[in-house]
Structure 1
């Protein structure tokens, strides 16, 4: 009996997931791809009933990928490939971009699949008849379907939109149902002022609040955060587990940890909403754009970033497999809620790749953009223009993921002690402007000590205002980072709300 490997992978996400800014369409693409392994396995099970010589084992599924070990003759393996391709081209799958390949080794199977990527269209070909109107959401495909809320849509966008609507609540309740039920989650507005409702759009996520407890600056309330987290050490651990015959054990461990991480993130979102939003305006201000394997992409209000990172780190802290540590590296992009999500995702992924290439794994960076027209790339150059050449070094610009909680504490202490133990915001900007913005650490520290002595403050010489990150940073860069994050540490909550948040 021959043994071959079948590799299946989803590709071209810009054309199949992030081609619109609609939450339901994005959600559908992500959740559909989460079923890739199950759909392929179902197709193989059906085929194996008709072909007794075909055997198969699922070796890995996750992160929009799946690998099967096949046994059988050449015709059996070819039929398995054809069956999987057919199953992943029907219904809503026809609007996704999937490649598959066979090989005598896993590497050959991957190469065979990816070679198909460059011999097919980036955007799956549409079958709609010509139309004088283009899709209201993607602005590209011909519009032939009418949606009561969105207007005229293409077949692709309409199918994904409906799928996203159907699955928007089940994905969350299957993983954190008890907590969300306790919080009063409702998929639709049923008139209950105490209900926790899902967000229908990025605008709803960031602007559909406001009340007595939420006093964050308006500039922050209009911003979303696109957070991308990518695993560190998972590939190496998976290869070691495979070699030891424990790949399924590793996959199960990863799934359990990720489920715990998601539960913590949802808890943080529910807790923040209970503190910030008045009754009648409560939303689950969290969107899971990608959740597969060790690949995570979230959208959330900009002021929720640091609490979310803190919650996620609590779930994955100490994660290891056979003594090998596992972790995550993150990139956060804060921008106007109207910014194209495709650009935000690309920038966040660039931030993560920059950290990993710069030996700063296990860390995260935050980049803030004021305009809705965010750049396409070159984060290093943008950082250097704003923060100085030092910011090109990922280790200087980053914070450790384990420092997320300490960063919140540091920023709150700075804001609470501004003008006393810490420089006020206006004084900080004054210091940053000294010597044309080129003052060295010694000069700035001398000015800070003099400033606090005159105020009777208690600043200690050499004392730092923010966690040091993986390689430390100059005082100038520290002050600039503090000013960038000043409005995004979270809402200023009065009295009992602050105590509850602590």
Structure 2
């Protein structure tokens, strides 16, 4: 039986995501991609049913060739709107293919290959039509507080530094000058300021205040709706001076989710897998929002400190206060557990039984750090987690950037530049169980450990050359550390020490309590010191108790 499929995909995404460092503008790029698919799906309701919808692509099934042709025209009309015209989107139907197979998995691969062919034949930069006077007036009427006077075309957009400016965005105060911006940046920035409200309402069916353009020290809005932090300065406010102004970028990507989708032999199988994945994502987002609310209520704040830079498909990117980074990762592992629905076959090269897993990454950095390189780094960290022993298992890779450091492309060389020649990124990865034990034991142990003493132990381990015997000073440092663990703390120390051990330690066995020096301890002490500021120092409702 011939299937009539419609496939849409946005291409050349860097021109609408990475062309500016402005937070609201980058946020809106993800909104545009997600909204594009949802708008097409809504318009096709009754004509073509959605099989799979992601952040930048959608697959639909029509009942007949005539319905497919009408669906293609409707999709093209949606994408021709002044808003979606800022994207470069390919619309492909099975009637565009020279040879059509009856196997569903092969047919979807053909559609994707046709998009890649068209992308190779197109310009990398997509220039949308210049806005008309009516379009500029409509945008100014919609956002009167934010849109200033129009700009002559010889002025360059101050946010993307490429396109000509057509209008100016008003500053937050009278003393702040207006910002000349291009049409794509103006639309994205204005829409991006309220996208979180739209996203959370769409996913969680809950209304949020659209007043996030107000300053954060203003009185709560009268409509009593919850509102979000306005910028990274307010998002990273923390009563802990060590964490004030620091943020955590949390990224997750599915392991071999593309292969799972390719293994689906019918549209219904792919539809069930897509629904299972999106349902797990919604559950995680709801639980994470509860965690953010708890932090707001405990600190006496008025805004929810969470930023969404990307959401859709099998990946997402969030920005959170640094103190919530590890807890948010634990929340993800606990509540985002998609399972293969009945009837969906696992790919041949995945272990049996197939349990879908994720590569999760965290980057801790200062709020003034440029977003683009951090976004590249957090994605490369997740890609590292897809290798080695964690290839088919959940993993968390973290990195801490102090000041404006940058790890670069080679993470192993990053550790070597810091003088740690035996440390590799594989040894710094965590799994969900180790992360849970680490967060549960840290409040019981860290207050009893001298941080300066741990740095001395780490330095002595790095300088230790002769493996046959440990230096006397290092032996005494170990003894001193364990003497400072009181009776209550000793119950929590073994789980913490075990959680700090790499997945594979090589040939040297490690003691349960780490009471005697070993070269293999280097990774454990390093991880503890790296994450020290970001581990909880007191028990909260979100951490589980450690039992003897």
Query: 1 or 2, which has the higher helix percentage?
Result: 1
Task: Report what 1:132 is aligned to.
Answer: 154
Query: 1 or 2, which has the higher strand percentage?
Result: 1
Whole-angstrom distance in 2 between the partners of 1:455 and 1:414: 10
Whole-angstrom distance in 2 between the partners of 1:31 and 1:45: 21
Whole-angstrom distance in 2 between the partners of 1:293 and 1:463: 35
Task: Report what 2:149 is aligned to.
Answer: none
Shift of 1:39: 2.9
Alpha-carbon contact 1:24-1:165 (below 8 Å) kept:
yes
Whole-angstrom distance in 1 between the partners of 2:362 and 2:457: 27
Number of aligned positions between the proteins: 469
Task: Report what 1:7 is aligned to.
Answer: 7
Structure 1 residues 186 and 274, CA gap change in structure 2 (3 angstroms): farther
Task: Report what 1:29 is aligned to.
Answer: 29
Structure 1 residues 373 and 358, CA gap change in structure 2 (3 angstroms): same
Task: Report what 1:52 is aligned to.
Answer: none
Task: Report what 1:427 is aligned to.
Answer: 453
Task: Report what 2:329 is aligned to.
Answer: 309
Alpha-carbon contact 1:333-1:366 (below 8 Å) kept:
yes
**CA offset digits 1:361-397 (Å, max 9, x no partner):** 3111111112336355222321343373443352x11
Matched, 1:234 2:257: yes
1:326 pairs with one of 329, 336, 356: 356
Q: Residue 391 of structure 1 aligns to a residue in which SS?
A: coil
Q: Root-mean-square deviation (CA), in Å?
A: 3.5
Whole-angstrom distance in 1 between the partners of 2:60 and 2:338: 31
Matched, 1:59 2:51: yes
Structure 1 residues 305 and 442, CA gap change in structure 2 (3 angstroms): farther
Normalising by structure 1, we get a TM-score of 0.82
Shift of 1:295: 0.9
Whole-angstrom distance in 1 between the partners of 2:162 and 2:525: 44
**CA offset digits 1:429-448 (Å, max 9, x no partner):** 11222265346697387444
Contiguous gaps of at least 5 residues in structure 2: 101-106, 132-151, 172-177, 343-352, 507-519, 544-548
Structure with more relative contact order (C-alpha pairs < 8 Å, separation 6 or more): 1
2:89 pairs with one of 74, 81, 98: 98
Structure 1 residues 470 and 9, CA gap change in structure 2 (3 angstroms): farther
Task: Report what 1:377 is aligned to.
Answer: 409
Task: Report what 2:516 is aligned to.
Answer: none
Normalising by structure 2, we get a TM-score of 0.75
Matched, 1:345 2:375: yes
Matches within 5 A, 1:462-473: 464=497, 466-472=499-505
**CA offset digits 1:261-300 (Å, max 9, x no partner):** 110111111112222x23xx43211112112122111111
Whole-angstrom distance in 2 between the partners of 1:321 and 1:21: 40
Whole-angstrom distance in 1 between the partners of 2:495 and 2:284: 37
Task: Report what 1:258 is aligned to.
Answer: 281
Task: Report what 2:79 is aligned to.
Answer: 88
Alpha-carbon contact 2:438-2:496 (below 8 Å) kept:
no
Task: Report what 1:401 is aligned to.
Answer: 432
Matched, 1:142 2:169: no
Shift of 1:3: 4.1
Task: Report what 1:163 is aligned to.
Answer: 191
1:110 pairs with one of 105, 109, 112: 112
Matches within 5 A, 1:451-470: 451-452=480-481, 464=497, 466-470=499-503
Shift of 1:405: 2.6
Shift of 1:488: 1.3
Whole-angstrom distance in 2 between the partners of 1:462 and 1:297: 30
Alpha-carbon contact 2:36-2:84 (below 8 Å) kept:
no
Task: Report what 1:51 is aligned to.
Answer: none
Whole-angstrom distance in 1 between the partners of 2:417 and 2:372: 24
Structure 1 residues 176 and 443, CA gap change in structure 2 (3 angstroms): farther
